[in-house]
Amino acid sequence: MSIPFAFESPRYPLDYHLRGLAKGTCTFAVDAVGFAPWERRVEVTEPARIDAVLVPLPGNYVVLEGAGDERIDVDVRPAAGGAWTPFVARNDRPVFSDAGQTLEGRHFLAPGKWAVSATMRTGAPTAPRVVEANGDRSTVSLSFAAVPGRTLRARTKSRAGVAVDGFEVHCLVRDGDAWRPLRTKKTAAIDGGFTIRGLPRGTVRLAFDEAGAVPFGDVEIGDEDVEREFVVPAPAK
């Protein structure tokens, strides 16, 4: 059983009650942003109290400013290079109302230099920005301005020329020898087509899955909007 939390440093110890557990061996785990993982195996026989002492990790919290209701996803990787990983901009971790914390999403970076880049639903990815985490557990605020991009309007059909829809469309951009998923661009084929806005210049891969393992087409994006037609298999019933 895993319990996730989003607080930085609660004002006092927090009580979390679990009821209705069956007797037997249970493994309890606490996952708190900015703290070392905690786990304990417990033999449940009668009501008991378990104290979980969380160990703070060196690093820095990062929060987003000015995102409002705009869907924004942020990716992070070491400044020296490597694969992009999702930066949790908004999450569903519970926060106690009296814990002295806000409900804003946050991420935690280990000490070092990191590159961050954001993508909005209608904008292209921002240029990577280097953020240095000094390890003092302070909070760093980031804001991102929308970057104009191009629009792809696509039609999807079968080999027989029949319109195909009812499937998810995932978008990735070439990043060196790898592909970076743009999660805000996820859409669905409806009425035999789909539209994706805010695409950057370069090669864009369209796939049935977020990882891009099952692609159905690559598109070169330049200075103009693009219209394309793709032949895809009909989705399984």
* Model confidence pLDDT, tens digit, residues 102-138: 445 678 999 999 999 999 888 999 999 999 999 999 9
Q: What is the percentage of the chain residues whose pLDDT exceeds 90?
A: 54
Residue 1: count of CB within 10 angstroms of its CB: 10
Quote the CA–CA distance of 111 and 164 in Å, as a whole number.
48
Domains of the chain: 2-44 (no CATH), 59-142 (2.60.40), 150-231 (2.60.40.10)
Token code pair at residue 41: 């195996």
**How big is the CA angle at 233 (ends 229 and 237), to the nearest 5 degrees?**
130
Predicted structure pTM score: 0.77
Quote the CA–CA distance of 208 and 166 in Å, as a whole number.
11
φ/ψ of residue 185, rounded to 5 = -90, -5
* Model confidence pLDDT, tens digit, residues 185-213: 999 999 999 999 999 999 999 999 999 99
pLDDT of residue 103: 43
Query: If pLDDT is split at 50, 70 and 90, which confidence band does 228 have?
Result: very high
